Chain A
């Protein structure tokens, strides 16, 4: 049901590029270095960052068993929480290093921010109901019950990773990087080029992922086995942040702001499973749930126009201004 969202977007996008619908070429002057010249540069690690306990410190008792089960569910969700997953993803696909890595939505930083009010749900979410959201959207599945064995194990794993972290504090490395708005409007055609040169080797020519011996070795980025239109990663800004900090493996920090935005736009211009909140029509669902940086029911041109509007509001201050979401009791990821 409700298939055509992405295809429609794709067709529109291709129409814009191939058909040449009068869109002017990008301005010649850019502040970005030429993408081809980017050499691998290590991302600086802030020594003040919180460090979760080492895996070898998991206690050898009943508590430790729950931590380990939680870790197993997190890393191999396909096997350990099969009944709750509706696509080809594992939690650890987007939360790298088994949920430990800073700037990859680490669990230790998430755990200490809940309970929190979230715009997305319009309620106070606990860490449990937050995790249910991951299953509903990112895993395109059926959330485990709040008191299920799986949920208990996952929360135990979160709790253990956050050992020693202060509660109610947004720790450095929380969530995903915020990538400054690029010099040029994000563009699908450039994004496709970035994708082919950097991403296709692992995620396949058509974003379908690559399987080895029947299991996804690299996750699908769009299509029926990927995250759905309600997942945080369908937002272009969120995806740009994840990609720039973490992709490709070992080469995090090497894509320019422009490349990260372009390739995030390209990725999220494709078909993926419907938003489970769909009701009435795409337009109605968009108006109700997608007042955000995404291509749900929008053309890339419409998205670009809204981005431009945001940029006018304050480009220079964007990178340094204190995050408004630091309000107490508010989830920093407002609509993720």
Chain B
């Protein structure tokens, strides 16, 4: 009797410990109702998918993450797949998934097949900008390492190129409008298509950071 109680007690402890340490919330692994599991597109580790253009979510500041879901819910950001998922997420789902993804390491940088001259052009834009065209460097707001400045400026280093291109184009055309103070819209409007592809290509080559969003 005594040993059985002890066994149950220990089992409970192990479960509690693993939940606290690593187990991702069920919204990520199982989904809920109309919300398919986050992991099916973004991975449990938040690495996304380069080919499909599903974005990296690892180390997004939780407040930024939560704002995006809230904007999908409110219709101020729209996406055919994400909008219905966001509608089905509860406050707890948002909080737990935001916290989980913020704690994941950024993915390893990708080997790129993009022309080195294009990458160099993108690097110059990211670091120096093109002030004569009213384009500040990406890294002025997203930090010198491109890994973001919480809470409002998300990491962009290591983001999949296809996703970065799609979002810059969306701001440029007005399809995406949920940036604070039109900061991204204004920059995107002053970028050429060449700029967008170069800078997205460069950002995708950038390295990683250890786990944990401060």
Contact = CB atoms under 8 A, between A and B. Distances in A.
Contacts of B161: none
Interface stretch (A243-251, A271-279, A305-313): A243-251
Nearest to A39: B182
A45 B133 CA distance: 9
Interface in A197-220: 197-198, 201-202, 210, 212-213, 215, 217-218
Interface string B189-201: 0100000000000
A250 B183 contact: yes
B128 A201 contact: no
Interface stretch (A59-67, A94-102, A112-120, A154-162): A94-102
A252 interface: yes
A167 B150 CA distance: 45
A85 B14 CA distance: 51
A83 interface: no
Contact of B144 (A198, A217, A251): A217
A212 B134 contact: no
A201 B180 CA distance: 8
Given A97-B131, A217-B144, A212 B187 contact: no
B24 interface: no
A136 to B, nearest CB: 26
A40 B145 contact: no
Interface string B107-140: 0000000000000000000001101101110001
A212 B148 contact: yes
Contacts of A201: 152, 180-181, 183
Contact of B183 (A101, A212, A249): A249
Contacts of A34: none
B149 A249 contact: no
Given A40-B186, A201-B181, A249-B183, A212 B131 contact: no
20 contacts: A42-B134, A98-B128, A101-B131, A197-B181, A201-B152, A201-B183, A202-B149, A202-B152, A212-B148, A212-B150, A212-B214, A213-B214, A217-B149, A217-B153, A218-B149, A249-B141, A250-B187, A250-B190, A251-B182, A251-B183
